[in-house]
Amino acid sequence: MKAEPQGAMRLLADTSAWIASFQSTGHERLKQRLKEALEQDVLVMSGMVLCELLQGARSQAEYQNLHQRLQALHYLITPEETWQKAARLSFELRKKGIVVPTTDLLIAQTALDHGCSLLHCDKHFDWIARHSDLAVIPA
């Protein structure tokens, strides 16, 4: 994986956005956003999204192909502090009656920590954005 891009607004695509982009029909605006981010070299990958995508591979060949293609993206490091902040974010949301999966909290906090916008097809990120500084781009 490449080091993080500097300067331009980076875009972290959630697993939900990637999966929608893999579908042969629909989601044209989402596919265009991903294409533009790739062309501008501002698309980034997090460890959690990488893990979720790779675990969904249906064969060894698909796993290897996907892994190789994703290696071309900039990679966001997830330090211990990000885990602590994600836990705090979860705690604050739960106090408001909002329950979000841990994976989504970690992805959101990674985007926050690295100053990225988050492209997604998952209502949980909209909930997080309403109660934090997370910049979301719904697909």
Confidence check: pLDDT of 104 > 90: yes
Kindly list the domain boundaries of the chain, sorted by start residue: 11-138
The percent of residues in the chain predicted with pLDDT above 70, rounded, is 94
pLDDT for the residue 138: 85
- Domain 11-138 sits in CATH 3.90.1150.150: no
Q: Where are the alpha helices (H) located in the chain, listed in sequence order?
A: 15-22, 28-39, 47-55, 60-70, 80-95, 102-114, 123-130
Q: Taking the model in full, what pTM does it have?
A: 0.91
pLDDT for the residue 26: 84
pLDDT for the residue 5: 53
Orientation angle between helical segments 60-70 and 47-55, nearest 10 degrees: 160
Structure token pair of residue 138: 């719904």
pLDDT for the residue 99: 97
Kindly report, residue by residue over 46-64, the tens digit of the pLDDT. Answer: 999 999 999 999 999 999 9
Name, in order, each residue with C-beta under 8 angstroms of 111's C-beta and a sequence gap of 6 or more: 12, 46, 117, 118, 134, 135
pLDDT for the residue 57: 95
pLDDT for the residue 9: 85
The residue type at 99: V
Q: Distance between CA atoms of 88 and 33, rounded to whole angstroms?
A: 31
Kindly report, residue by residue over 17-49, the tens digit of the pLDDT. Answer: 999 999 998 899 999 999 999 999 999 999 999
Give how far Cα 89 sits from Cα of 9, 10, 110, 112, 114, Å: 23, 22, 12, 11, 16
